[in-house]
A = this chain, B = another copy of it.
Amino acid sequence: MSTLDTSTTGLQALLSPSTVRSTVLPVVRQRVSALEPTLARICSYHLGFIDERGDPSSAGSGKLTRAALMMAAAEGVGLRPEDVRAPAAALELMHNSTLIHDDIIDADELRRGSPAAWKVFGVGLAILAGDALQALGLQMVVDDPGAGRAEISSVFAEALRLVLAGQSREFTVRLGSGAGIGEYDRIVEKKTSALLECALVTPALRAGRPEHILAALRGAGRNLGLAFQILNDVEDIWGDPAVTGKPVRGDIRRRNPSFPVLAALSADSLAGERLRGLWHADGTTAAYLQEMADLVEESGGRRMAEQVSRSHLDSALEHLGRADLFPAATVELTTLFGRIVHRTS
C-alpha cells in the first residue's frame, strides 16, 4: 500500500482541477436547478452558472477547494473520485450556503468580483437561498447510499454546527473589545477548519479507516484551515482586490480582529500603541485604513502572520504524513495544501 508512486499510478492526471470540476459540477448544477425556481436562480447565480439576467455565465464557481481535498483524500484510501461525488458536491453546497449568509451578515457587496446574491435578489430571498443550499447539502449526504452513510452524515452535521458557532463567535468578538490569538485560533478552527477536516475525513469514513487515521486527517484539516485563514487575513490587508474578488481591507474597516492585527495590537512598541489608538476609534477613510495597515506592518504583525501560517502548514503536512495514505495521494495533497494556503490554484 505504501509503495505506489505518482509515476506508476497516474493519479496526478486524475486530480487535475478539471477532473474535480467535471466530477462535481454536473451534480451541483443538476441538484441546484431542481430547487424551487427562484431559489434555483439565486443559487445558480451565486455559484457562477448564470449572470444577473439569468444568462449563462463564465464567472466560475470558485476553486472547489473542499471537493478537491475530498477527492485527493479518496485516492489516498483507495477510492475513486466518483466514490465521494455526492459528499464532495454536498460539501461545496454547504460551504456556499455559509458564504451567501456571510455576505449578508457582513454587508459584503462583492463575492468573487460580482455583486453578492443579497445585493441582486434582496436579503429575504438570499436568506432562503442560503438555507436551501444548507438543507440540500445535508440531504445529499443523508441520501447518499455509499458506505459509512451514518458516520458521514454525522460528521457533516457537526461540521456545519461548528462553522456557525465560529461565525457567531467572530461576530460577537467583533462587537466587543479585545480578543487574543487563542480566541482567534478557536474561531478559525470552527469557521474555517471544520469543513476542511470534513473533506479529509469523509473518504476515510467511507473506507472504514480506524480512529487514529481519522485523528491524523482531522489534525491536517485543522492546521490547514489556520494556515489558510491567517494568510487570507494578510491578503485582506495587502492583497490585490483583483485576486481576492473583495474590496481591500474589509477586516480593518469592520474592526474584525484578523491575525496580523491581533499580533500588532499586542506589540510593545510605539507603532503598536499608535495602532491601538486608531483601532479603537472609528475612522474608515482610505487614508485612515492605509495608516493602520502600515502600522500593522511596522509592528511586525504581517511578518508574524506569515511565519505562523507557515508553521501551521508544516503541522498540517506532518499530520497528513501520519494518515497512512497512498504516497501519490500524499504528494497530491501536499501540493494542494500549498495552493490552498497561497491561493494559487
Contact = CB atoms under 8 A, between A and B. Distances in A.
Nearest to A104: B127
A139 interface: yes
Contact of A39 (B35, B124, B153, B168): B168
Interface string A100-137: 01001110000000000000000111011111101110
Contacts of A149: 150
Interface of A: 35-39, 101, 104-106, 123-125, 127-132, 134-136, 138-139, 142-143, 149-150, 153-154, 157-158, 160-161, 164-169, 171-172
Given A142-B142, A165-B36, A131 B132 contact: no
B134 A105 contact: no
A128 B150 contact: no
Contact of A38 (B127, B131, B172): B172
Contact of A157 (B128, B143, B168): B143
A143 B131 CA distance: 21
A158 B132 contact: no
Contact of A128 (B105, B128, B143): B105
A134 B127 CA distance: 13
6 contacts: A101-B127, A105-B127, A128-B164, A139-B154, A142-B142, A149-B150
Nearest to A142: B153
B142 A36 contact: no
B104 A168 contact: no
A235 to B, nearest CB: 23
Contacts of A169: 36, 38
Which 5 A/B pairs are nearest by Cβ-Cβ distance?
Answer: A139-B157, A36-B165, A105-B124, A142-B153, A135-B160
A158 B139 contact: yes
Nearest to A139: B157
B134 A131 contact: yes
Contact of A136 (B135, B161, B166, B167): B161
Nearest to A127: B101
A167 B42 CA distance: 14
Contact of A143 (B35, B38, B123, B154): B154
Given A123-B123, A149-B150, A36 B131 contact: no
B131 A101 contact: yes
A149 B149 CA distance: 11
A279 B160 CA distance: 43
B161 A124 contact: no
